[in-house]
Amino acid sequence: MVNTLTKSDPKPPKAGTKALAKETILTPRFYTTDFDAAASLDLSAQDEELRTMLEEMRTDYNRNHFVRDEVFNQSWDHIEGEARQSFIDYLERSCVSEFSGFLLFKELSRKLKDRNPLLAEIFHLMARDEARHAGFLNKAMADFGLSLDLAHATKTRTYTFFPIEWVIYTVYLSEKIGYWRYIIIFRHLEKHPEHQFYPLFRYFESWCQDENRHGDIFKALLRSQPKLWNNWKARLWSRFFLLSVFATHTLTVHERAGFYRSLGLDATEFDERVVRKTNETAGNAFPLMLNTEHPMFFPLLRRCSDLNQKIGAIERSDQPQFVKTLRKLPWITAIVWNLLRLYLIKPINTEPLRGTIR
């Protein structure tokens, strides 16, 4: 569902800025939600945990972390070819994702300020972190002669509506999968410093702690709402969002395999490790985990990735759009079929089903 916000006629982006990548099902999106429903959430079951995490957010352990040092003050022209382009693509996707979180959290904070002060302040502080991340990534892009006009993007990008329940599921998973992505890259480069071709990666350890804290906040929000974890509907939604996030991760990682090669990582091995770790972590919040050890789980995900590569090749061709659409339909259908097969793999329960249908 797309929020039909009234927009003025968009103006071209400022000179010297990079146009955002075309919006697709895999590109980071901007979201809006039901702010009245968010303000009405009963948080009493997790009140103590949320207040503890609020104090931690107020402390702002990373206030001085995202400061560029002299190592950045050099030419990066030696990073060339596929490695350069794949890294720029990575920076852009990460920057837009962080900025998307900033916009959503900022608006939640503004709309909840007089109705749910506790949650409003938490969202305000999370917006602070996301803005810090997005700005740092945009400065990294500037080292390669590019930058994103994020203010322009807020006026021209499509906003997608998610119910607050979906926001809680998806943001929890995106923050936790972000934690595992950052920490795995950081630890790998600690062992293999010869692959640390740009100083951004030295910041990933503290960066991932922001992701982890945000994920813990959304875990508390999820557990404060029994309807999100304590009935059969919640189990179905949990499976859906876990699979959606993992499939998106697999497809995007393999689309940018060149970036991971430049880090000395195998894209398939990296993807599998991130998915497994995120799945295990999600078992602490969700009523189930996906069975990643099923013999068909990762082969089916990789099949979806291979099909997505075929779709990408068609889209990059010079054929008329209607021809591209016809050529892509069989592969899109095959991806949907394989995702359905994945969804039907029996999950692993993390706690007994209690209560009644809500």
Query: What is the DSSP track for 101-137?
Result: HHHHHHHHHHHHTTT-HHHHHHHHHHHHHHHHHHHHH
Read off the pLDDT of residues 38-47 as tens digits, 9 standing for 90 and up: 999 999 999 9
* Structure confidence at residue 20 as a pLDDT band (50, 70, 90): low
How big is the chain, counted in residues?
358
pLDDT exceeds 50 at position 320: yes
pLDDT of residue 113: 93
Taking CB atoms within 8 Å and a gap of at least 24, the contacts of 231-235 are 231/353, 231/355, 231/356, 231/357, 231/358, 232/353, 232/357, 233/357, 233/358, 234/287, 235/287, 235/288, 235/347, 235/353
In terms of pLDDT, which residue wins out, 211 or 351? 211
pTM for this model (two decimals): 0.91
Which alpha helices (H) appear in the chain, and where do they start and end? 35-39, 47-59, 81-112, 117-142, 150-156, 164-191, 204-223, 232-255, 257-262, 267-282, 297-315, 321-343
For residues 264 and 183, what is the distance between their CA atoms, to the nearest angstrom? 15
Give me the mean pLDDT over the 137-157 stretch: 89
Read off the pLDDT of residues 153-204 as tens digits, 9 standing for 90 and up: 888 888 999 999 999 999 999 999 999 999 999 999 999 999 999 999 999 9
Read off the pLDDT of residues 265-311 as tens digits, 9 standing for 90 and up: 999 999 999 999 999 999 999 999 999 999 999 999 999 999 999 99
What residues does 127 pair with on adjacent strands? none
Query: By three-state DSSP, how is residue 245 classified?
Result: helix
Closest among 159, 140, 145 to 93, alpha carbons compared: 140
Mean pLDDT computed over every residue of the chain? 90
Give me the mean pLDDT over the 41-57 stretch: 95
Q: Where are the domains of the chain?
A: 30-228
* Structure confidence at residue 151 as a pLDDT band (50, 70, 90): confident
pLDDT of residue 2: 35
* Structure confidence at residue 356 as a pLDDT band (50, 70, 90): very low
For residues 160 and 119, what is the distance between their CA atoms, to the nearest angstrom? 22
| Residue 173 near residue 34 (C-beta atoms within 8 A) | no
Read off the pLDDT of residues 95-122 as tens digits, 9 standing for 90 and up: 999 999 999 999 999 999 999 999 999 9
pLDDT of residue 4: 34
Give me the mean pLDDT over the 336-358 stretch: 79
* Structure confidence at residue 24 as a pLDDT band (50, 70, 90): low
Token readout for 292 is 């990643």
pLDDT of residue 29: 85
Q: Given the DSSP bridges, would you call strands 348-349 and 159-161 parallel, antiparallel or unpaired?
A: unpaired
* Structure confidence at residue 21 as a pLDDT band (50, 70, 90): low
pLDDT exceeds 80 at position 22: no
pLDDT of residue 206: 87
pLDDT exceeds 70 at position 345: yes
For residues 86 and 100, what is the distance between their CA atoms, to the nearest angstrom? 21
Of the listed ranges 60-69, 138-147, 193-202, 231-240, the one predicted with least confidence: 60-69
